[in-house]
């Protein structure tokens, strides 16, 4: 919350290591391995949202936070009480379910029915964690829906959401492999000699055929695999391959990549009349390709810095993290790459946020906050003076935003227009904010408050969906302008 300034918070981790049987173990509920540079993600796919949550090693196996897992799927109210942990959850259009667990115990209750976990439940820093191996049973009871978990690949499917595909190889000069999906997809594509890989991290693609071999002069086979929270379709061939999208993203066509054109034959040039030696022409630099366009989403606070207390059991840091994941999904569904600066409950200083953002060179930086007072959505831009400043000028740290104020304001106006069209209360403000003043890219901050008099409605999934859709549409409408602002 802007009214209570971001404060620096150090993250103190106390490690107690015991060595045995060739592996490092934590005592009791402590983390098993040394702190990784980044938590391993679990990819979750559902009809309402696709998102990722961090996995934490405890008791010799991966654990996942209950609030992180359930929050994008509905309304969550967690009530930790010492070693006891109670959570109320309700999905849109469904009844409320209460989950009860106890720190250090492998038994609990979901919807009033007893459940036995594969390992003990863990309460740490007021947050509840369940072993990954028990997530399917916990979710299936809480959601009353079928759950499919691939623990080794870290992929979780809620309900019947898997996107299947068919393969149709058509001979020709060159041959073409048509990969047809039952819904649009947006994979990342990587090529190397004889291979083209389609990686589906946000799309719940599941294998129709795991592996197939072709007796074709160009395309020799296709293989689907799941790993690292993603699905991957690897197409092999006898020469370089390329991918083209068709049918609104529901079909991907794999065929031969075009060969480099042959150099033109030398032309006969008449002998020059002048006898002066020719001056070689200076080589012209090749034009650079367009920079990658992506949005960096920065959920405020984290770790010991909880931000504002929206309700007794709902800190700002949790509200904005859930909102950030929804916004990432909405942007990516519109073909805009988006990355979260914070994707877990981690404390990050203001300077660290700015340094990370500037090193990433995003097309747009979006900070997210939540308020326990007021109504609707507040859009902020920096109040630093920006007149006559160029992105090629030397920009002091405290005024790095000055070269981007005009574009930032344009994005803020566009987002506000989308909020108005959805009849969502909104306010456009300027303020000397950090770390936004230190961001060398177009930047806005969004502070979400309750839509009505009940402050708890800030976590209403339908309300958050409206807000994130408006933000995403506003950003998409100014994509060309933010791209042109990059130095």
pLDDT in tens, 56-112: 999 889 999 999 899 888 888 888 888 899 999 998 878 899 999 999 999 999 999
pTM for this predicted structure: 0.52
Q: Output the pLDDT for position 374.
A: 85
CA terminus-to-terminus distance, the chain: 31
Tens of pLDDT along the chain (487 residues) come to 544 443 333 333 333 333 333 333 333 333 333 333 345 789 999 988 788 888 999 988 999 999 989 988 888 888 888 889 999 999 887 889 999 999 999 999 999 999 999 999 999 888 899 999 999 999 999 998 999 999 999 999 999 888 889 999 999 889 999 999 988 887 888 888 889 999 988 889 998 778 999 999 999 999 999 998 899 999 999 998 988 888 877 899 999 987 644 555 555 555 444 444 444 444 444 444 444 679 999 999 998 889 999 988 899 999 999 999 999 999 988 989 999 999 888 888 888 899 889 988 899 999 999 998 888 999 999 988 765 555 555 567 788 888 899 899 999 999 999 999 898 988 888 877 889 989 999 999 999 999 988 898 998 888 999 999 999 999 999 887 666 555 5
Other residues' Cβ atoms within 10 Å of the Cβ of residue 472: 24
Q: Name the nearest CA neighbour of 363 among 411, 395, 325.
A: 411
Residue 457 to residue 424: CA distance in whole angstroms: 14
Please say whether the structural domain 36-158 has been given the CATH code 3.30.457.10.
yes
What residue ranges do the domains of the chain occupy? 36-158, 165-256, 294-484
Q: What is the CATH number of domain 165-256?
A: 2.60.40.3470
Residue 484's pLDDT is what?
57
Instruction: State pLDDT tens for residues 357-380.
Output: 998 889 999 999 999 888 899 999
Query: Tokens in use for 318?
Result: 């949790």
476 vs 334: CA distance, rounded Å: 7
Task: Kindly report the CATH number that applies to the domain delimited by 294-484.
Answer: 3.40.630.40
């Amino acid at each position: 919350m802007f009214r209570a300034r971001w404060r620096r918070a150090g993250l103190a981790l106390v490690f107690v290591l015991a060595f045995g049987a060739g592996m490092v173990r934590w005592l009791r509920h402590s983390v098993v391995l040394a702190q990784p540079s980044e938590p391993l993600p679990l990819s979750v796919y559902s009809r309402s949202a696709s998102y990722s949550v961090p996995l934490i090693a405890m008791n010799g196996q991966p654990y996942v936070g209950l609030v992180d897992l359930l929050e994008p799927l509905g309304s969550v109210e967690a009530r930790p009480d010492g070693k006891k942990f109670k959570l109320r959850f309700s999905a849109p259009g469904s009844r409320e379910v209460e989950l009860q667990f106890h720190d250090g115990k492998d038994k609990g209750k979901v919807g009033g029915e007893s459940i036995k976990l594969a390992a003990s439940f863990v309460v740490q820093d007021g947050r509840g964690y369940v072993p990954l191996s028990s997530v399917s049973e916990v979710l299936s009871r809480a959601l009353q829906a079928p759950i499919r978990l691939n623990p080794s690949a870290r992929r979780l499917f809620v309900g019947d959401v898997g996107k299947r595909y068919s393969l149709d190889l058509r001979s020709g000069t060159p041959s073409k492999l048509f990969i047809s999906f039952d819904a649009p997809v947006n994979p990342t594509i990587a090529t190397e000699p004889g291979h083209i890989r389609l990686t589906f991290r946000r799309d719940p693609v599941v294998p129709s055929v795991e592996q197939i071999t072709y007796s074709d002069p160009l395309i020799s086979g296709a293989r689907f695999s799941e790993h690292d929270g993603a699905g991957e379709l690897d197409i092999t061939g006898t020469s370089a391959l390329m991918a083209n999208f068709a049918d609104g993203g529901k079909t991907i066509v794999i065929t031969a990549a075009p060969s480099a054109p042959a150099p033109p034959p030398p032309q006969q040039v008449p002998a020059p009349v002048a006898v002066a030696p020719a001056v070689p022409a200076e080589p012209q630099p090749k034009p650079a390709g367009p920079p990658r366009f992506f949005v960096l989403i920065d959920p405020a606070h984290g770790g010991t810095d909880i931000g504002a207390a929206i309700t007794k059991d709902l800190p700002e840091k949790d509200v904005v993290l859930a909102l950030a994941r929804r916004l990432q999904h909405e942007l990516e569904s519109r073909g805009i790459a988006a990355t979260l600066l914070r994707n877990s409950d981690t404390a990050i200083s203001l300077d660290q946020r700015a340094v990370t953002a500037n090193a990433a060179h995003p097309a747009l930086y979006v900070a997210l906050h939540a308020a326990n007072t007021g109504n609707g959505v507040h859009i902020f831009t920096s109040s630093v003076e920006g007149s006559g400043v160029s992105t090629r000028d030397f920009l002091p740290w405290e005024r790095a935003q000055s070269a981007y104020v005009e574009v930032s304001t344009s994005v803020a106006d566009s987002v506000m227009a989308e909020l108005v069209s959805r009849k969502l209360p909104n306010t456009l403000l300027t303020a000397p904010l950090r770390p936004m003043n230190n961001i060398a890219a177009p930047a806005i901050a969004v502070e979400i408050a309750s839509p009505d008099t009940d402050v708890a409605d800030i976590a209403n999934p339908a309300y958050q969906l409206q807000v994130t859709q408006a933000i995403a549409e506003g950003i998409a409408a100014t994509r060309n302008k933010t791209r042109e602002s990059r130095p």
